[in-house]
Structure 1
């Protein structure tokens, strides 16, 4: 290989490596107050990539028994409003939403689902985890005759803390750049 070919190879490898660590992230915006069975709410998310994967999977996982209920197996993750209406159709318990874009799964914070015809004390409050702090108020899309208070707060809570995601991405980036440096030393 001549020097120009080697330089082009190393530059291409470096750009590909950096691009792989600058991939899109999806952040689920989730209610932190209880959701009521039979009431329609919006599941909302944000996407950092201007051209994310077209379709993804949205489901809800019960933290008490680990059961998963599919909400949409062909969710349009590029939808400009980044939301999906969903009528709560799971048993009372503690839950979190999962969105999978084909390359990774992100989770919302933990929240409660309550039967609006029973007291909220029937379901233990979530413990620990990604509950996050409320940032903006939200309300159900329809009340379905619910006479109780049904407002919810939203929070942007990725499945891992931003610091841990950044740390793991930086470690991977530096390891990759180290490999590129070693290749450059060997080639030149």
Structure 2
């Protein structure tokens, strides 16, 4: 949660598994591949953060639109993952909902990000461990003080499918309709069409 660098690695792993499933389906044409998520998070990539821009104000190091340029991640070992996430020009990704926390504009290299901690009133406050990181900026949260990190959102989730039965997935679908398509594709019940 709010540790987007790790989420990107999870997404790359997910993409690689989908690639493996697609390779499997080439020699097993009766394979239905369905790819979706179970929820969404309110996050946006708005450009890049460039450490080589002058000054100490990290906010001024955020580049947007044409001024963003491309990140300088590298994959020299060819495993599909960036060799390191703490590059000088990296993606700028931010949450739309959050507790009070210190935005450092940098990957958290010492372990998972803990944006907030409980105080003596049993409320979550910005974790002071990040306060003195050069350029850190306090962001006042928009979540209740009993929330310690960003929360799921109610956005629609994308679903993509290929293989026998994939044509049953189309347009906007209620979650329960997804299961009906799977049941039909697996011939587990009476067809709904």
Q: Same fold (TM over 0.5)?
A: no
TM-score by length of 2: 0.23
Query: TM-score scaled to structure 1, two decimals?
Result: 0.23
Higher strand share: 1
